[in-house]
Structure 1
Amino acid sequence: MSTGSGAPSAPAPNSHHDTVSDDATATASARGTTPGIAAGPAAPPRKGTFSSLRIRNYRLFATGQMVSNTGTWMQRIAQDWLVLSLTGSSAAVGITTALQFLPMLLFGLYGGVIADRFPKRKLLLLTQSAMGLTGLTLAGLTLSGQVEVWHVYLVALLLGLATVVDNPARQAFVSEMVGQDDLRNAVSLNSANFQSARLIGPAVAGVLITAFGSGWAFLFNGLSFIAPLTGLLMMRTAELHKVDRVPRSKGQLREGLRYVSQRPDLIWPIVLVGFIGTFGFNFPIWLTAFVYHVFHQGAGTYALFNGLMAAGSLIGALLAARRAGSRLRLLVGAAMLFGALEITAALAPSFWLFAALLAPIGMVGLTINVTANSSVQMATDPLMRGRVMSLFMMVFMGGTPLGAPVVGWVTDAFGARIGFLAGGVISLTAAGLIGLVLARVGGLRLKIDLRRGHQHLTFVPRAPGAAAPSGEKALAPAA
């Protein structure tokens, strides 16, 4: 989900600020700034943290998602712990995660085409119903004592197939509920909603698993989808913001890919979240391994670790909801800090130091997600948004089938600390390299100033009065 509070309207397809008018250049020169780099549009005024909730349709959506997300987090905890209990293998947890996200890698772009072509509210009624059925199916198998690990694998795969359409449709539907002006705020609140559920779900799941077993967590998740379905049915369709649907035609996948490839302000954030999502967000593997093999604890400790990460993520989401803009330099800086924190946690010598680092890791990880998501959504034409967001989610989540089995094998072969350390090193390296690329295409260089009272590290134009390279000026205001 992404963001929206007083954000500039999205540019039309292929109009990615290739030129700057003479008037804009003259104005920038009069201010002593470089056109397209230091000036940029004035920052939009800040709105309240919860401003999007004044919209009835969005309130219904957010309420339903809060209940459903709580169930989803309960199922995630129960699923990971069930697989680990059945197999004793971190690699098996990685395989489960990979199967859940494999459909996004294979069919994610087709999901975006479907989301652009059909009414998103009707699509969500179908996908949310299907996702609820997967939870009920797994509950029946577990409570009856018939569950085997291949059942969990199959249900994870089916859930992933529903997600292929659900994710881009849900992402793009936010703008139909709140409009462009509140999009950034709504996306941040969606993240806060998800992370709030992440605080509640693991705690409840830990109690249920310890007292009664995993089946009851799966049952709650299946029933929780009644809430979003009710919210969708109660919406006033006349109050939705009209978005033209894309008619069926050939080449729509290629059109979406070509659109992104011509926009550096889209492609590089997507590449960065691809690295982070593939190698840096494998927390089910690492946390189960740390709980089970390093600290020799049970499901309650696993729920505690997830709750600590959720608390940090919730703080990050609320801070993002108050933020007026989504700047690419914030994205790169957060990604570098994220990698450094993972490295530190991997080397933490004690239980409580490791636990204490999970909250800031959650906060910075959420900042990466919201900033990248909102940057991409706000820069995308509404007619292309479903396809672009499906590419975003395909890269962010679809990389998991590639990374999770590898990370699981490394964790099994070399230990939880080495597995976590490898994820942090890759995330930090990717952020540093992509930051240098963004600076270069934006016509910027890193300036180091160690004087007291001055900003020590900042990006400045390469040469006084020199504009960014042709075709790349779109990066400058957000870089």
Structure 2
Amino acid sequence: MLPCAMPDPSPGVASLLRQTPFALFLASRVISAMAVQVQVVAVGWQVYDLTDSALALGLVGLVQFLPVLLLTPFTGEVADRFDRRLVVGICRMLTGLAALALTFASHGGWVTSTTIFAFVAVIGATRGFEMPAQQALLAGVVRNTDLARATAFSSSASQVATIAGPAAGGFLYALGGPEIAYGTAAAGFLVAALMAFAIQAAPRQGIRGRVTIENLLSGLVFVRTRPILLGAVSLDMVAVLLGGAAALLPIYARDILQTGPWGLGILRAAPAVGALGMSLLLAWVPLGGNAGRKMFAGVILFGVATVVFGFSTNLWLSATALAFIGMGDVVSVVVRQTLVQLATPDEMRGRVAAVNSLFIGASNQLGEFESGVAAALIGPVAAVVLGGIGTVAVALLWMRIFPALRDIDRLEDISPDSEASRRRSAAGNAAMP
């Protein structure tokens, strides 16, 4: 692996951006995130246009999640055993090729919902390997003392892409059809892959020896025996699983709010607008004390805003509610991602990040499936509103089940070897049922 100088000790954002490894990491992630959003808008609108089915929209999430579920033990092992830069770059290249295949299928007129599901499953598998490697790679390009700020800034930069991506996806789809949107996404993935290959990360020794069942399952065991990690990742999974309304946005855009692909782009971008504002604030003004309680407050905000969105019949009120959803979600993301990195030894970060990615996939993709099924059974409005209420209930319940997570003060004090962490772990184990 290529050597690189570690960042200077200044924790400022400007200091982080002056570091070439972090700048490349950031650029690659942003371009990839924008390509993902362009593709998501195209897939959602095309599937709903082909099927006119809420259940089909939910199946898009399910076929993305199943490969992640099946491959999780292996994705973490790959991230810890091999060069994480190469893993990220290869995965983005393969995702780009899948998007290119969707381009030709749409242009040739032989695309069907089944075809889309097949390529989405391939994309889900490649992203299953990419996400743990990407999460673990960040810790190799910044200091531990800068990690919370770097995570927040990286999240804010990605939110810029998540704002521009859906808007661009909706515009491109309306302008030239799905093949233009997919082709643009494919180009973005390939550029992001080249940037990932160019990252110079701090030298590390990957795990050696034979692949064993113990190694494959060690990430799950590590998270299960550390209540603050188990509580953080499970809270996000259950809350977003219940409250996620992303899969139903095409229904809201076309049937409830009476807009076209451009309206779907606005709705897709709205959560990122709120998330961008919050993540920029967290990048410049870190969370500080009471980080655990602030995370729970963010989840509760997510749930309340979801209820408002569910009842709304006005595009701009809906977009505002989605922006608040993004604000609440990013607080949870920053706390969870920082906890996962700081509470995990480097040699296990890939495997633990794979578990985290599994929970994220369950909350996002499986949540889309749950939303689609619920909307098919009780209607989209009832599905969204009940989901938001469930999110608030889960946050309140988790505060009681995981007191060690609730009572975390400063994220900077988290370390797998610190006495404070050992006390929190013991207290959490004692409180867990």
TM-score category (smaller protein): 0.7 to 0.9
Are residues 1:101 and 2:65 paired?
yes
How many Å separate the matches in 1 of 2:405 and 2:156?
Answer: 31
Deviations 1:380-439 (A, max 9, x none): 111111111111110121345544333212212322211111221221111110011223
Question: Could you tell me which of 277, 282, 306 is aligned with 1:320?
Answer: 282
Question: Could you tell me which of 270, 286, 298 is aligned with 1:308?
Answer: 270
Deviations 1:254-306 (A, max 9, x none): 332222222111111111011023222341x2211211221222111111112
Q: 1:356 to 1:388 in 2, by over 3 A?
A: same
Q: Which residue of 1 aligns with 2:203?
A: 242
Question: Could you tell me which of 352, 363, 369 is aligned with 2:333?
Answer: 369
Q: Which residue of 1 aligns with 2:133?
A: 169
What amino acid sits opposite 2:32 in the alignment?
S
Q: Which residue of 2 aligns with 1:271?
A: 234
How many Å separate the matches in 2 of 1:416 and 1:470?
Answer: 41
Q: Which residue of 2 aligns with 1:261?
A: 224
Q: Which residue of 2 aligns with 1:297?
A: 259
Deviations 1:137-186 (A, max 9, x none): 10111112211111110010000111121110111111112232322222
Question: Could you tell me which of 250, 268, 271 is aligned with 1:288?
Answer: 250
* RMSD of aligned Cα (Å): 2.4
Are the counterparts in 1 of residues 293 and 406 from structure 2 also a CA contact under 8 Å? Answer: no
Deviations 1:320-349 (A, max 9, x none): 223155822211111112111111221235
Q: Which residue of 2 aligns with 1:228?
A: 192
Shift of 1:469: 8.0
Are the counterparts in 1 of residues 300 and 395 from structure 2 also a CA contact under 8 Å? Answer: yes
Are residues 1:342 and 2:303 paired?
no
The aligned runs of 1:44-59 (5 Å cut-off) are 47-59=11-23
Are residues 1:427 and 2:382 paired?
no
What amino acid sits opposite 1:159 in the alignment?
I
Are the counterparts in 1 of residues 254 and 260 from structure 2 also a CA contact under 8 Å? Answer: yes
Q: Which residue of 1 aligns with 2:3?
A: none
TM-score (norm 2): 0.87
How many Å separate the matches in 1 of 2:248 and 2:207?
Answer: 42
Deviations 1:456-476 (A, max 9, x none): xxxxxxxxxxxx78812899x
Are the counterparts in 2 of residues 175 and 241 from structure 1 also a CA contact under 8 Å? Answer: no
Deviations 1:360-381 (A, max 9, x none): 1111112222221112221111
Q: 1:344 to 1:254 in 2, by over 3 A?
A: same
How many Å separate the matches in 1 of 2:275 and 2:406?
Answer: 33
Kindly, what percent of the aligned residue pairs are identical?
A: 26
SS at match of 2:35: helix
Q: 1:469 to 1:244 in 2, by over 3 A?
A: closer
The aligned runs of 1:3-18 (5 Å cut-off) are none
SS at match of 1:182: helix
Deviations 1:89-143 (A, max 9, x none): 1211110121112211222232011111111112122211111101101011111
Deviations 1:168-216 (A, max 9, x none): 0111111112232322222222211221011111112222111211110
The aligned runs of 1:78-477 (5 Å cut-off) are 78-236=42-200, 240-249=201-210, 250=212, 251-283=214-246, 285-322=247-284, 323-325=286-288, 327-348=291-312, 350-400=314-364, 402-439=366-403, 441=404, 471-472=426-427
SS at match of 1:471: helix
How many Å separate the matches in 1 of 2:253 and 2:269?
Answer: 14
Structure number with the higher helix fraction is 2
How many Å separate the matches in 1 of 2:235 and 2:172?
Answer: 37
Deviations 1:225-267 (A, max 9, x none): 232233234334xxx2222312234211333222222211111
Is there any run of 5+ residues in structure 1 with no aligned partner, and where? 1-44, 445-467
Q: 1:279 to 1:50 in 2, by over 3 A?
A: farther
The number of aligned residues is: 404
What amino acid sits opposite 1:299 in the alignment?
P
SS at match of 1:177: coil
Q: 1:400 to 1:202 in 2, by over 3 A?
A: closer
Q: 1:168 to 1:416 in 2, by over 3 A?
A: same
Are the counterparts in 1 of residues 399 and 406 from structure 2 also a CA contact under 8 Å? Answer: no
SS at match of 2:144: coil
SS at match of 1:47: coil
Q: 1:380 to 1:473 in 2, by over 3 A?
A: same
Q: 1:218 to 1:50 in 2, by over 3 A?
A: farther
Are the counterparts in 1 of residues 232 and 405 from structure 2 also a CA contact under 8 Å? Answer: no
